[in-house]
Amino acid sequence: MNTPKPYKLTISQKPTYLHAIVTGQNSKETVMGYLQELRLQCADRGCTRVLIEERLEGPRLGAIDVFEIAEEGSNRAFGSFRTIAYVDVNAEGDLMKFAETVAVNRFLSVRVFSSVNDAEKWLLDKDR
């Protein structure tokens, strides 16, 4: 019997990248789970560029959890992704920029944005 996932991942194929929208309850397990599933989906589709639109509900994660997710996620994603644009619509403060710094310091091309439009523009500019 399958345990239901604490999130829903919806993926749309764009011409040069995947757009992933994730909803559900905010937790370290949720974020680690959807990032792993997304990595596998991208590998199956031969896609190395992704826009993640996170719409998780509930209390924001603490700095230690954010660091651990960014560190472990970067290690798992290394070599799988060329570019990741990330939008957390419920972000508060500077924790997402902190996560971006952790990932970039581990040689993962990640950039955090406050809007999907800005993230899409950046991904399309990277195509040129």
Distances in whole angstroms, Cα of residue 111 to Cα of each of 48, 79, 123, 125: 15, 17, 10, 13
pLDDT surpassing 70 at residue 55: yes
Nearest Cα neighbor of 50 from 22, 29, 70 is 22
pLDDT digits (tens, 9 = 90+) for 66-79: 888 888 877 777 67
Mean pLDDT of all residues in the chain? 87
Residue 30 pLDDT exceeds 90: yes
Question: Would you say the C-alpha torsion 118, 56, 38, 74 has a positive or negative sign?
Answer: positive
The answer to whether the CB of 19 falls within 8 A of the CB of 53 is yes
Q: How confident is the model at residue 105 (pLDDT cuts 50, 70, 90)?
A: confident
pLDDT of residue 128: 58
Which residues lie closer than 8 Å to 72 by C-beta, 6 or more apart? 32
Q: What's the pLDDT at 18? A: 94
**What integer pLDDT is reported at residue 23 of this predicted model?**
97
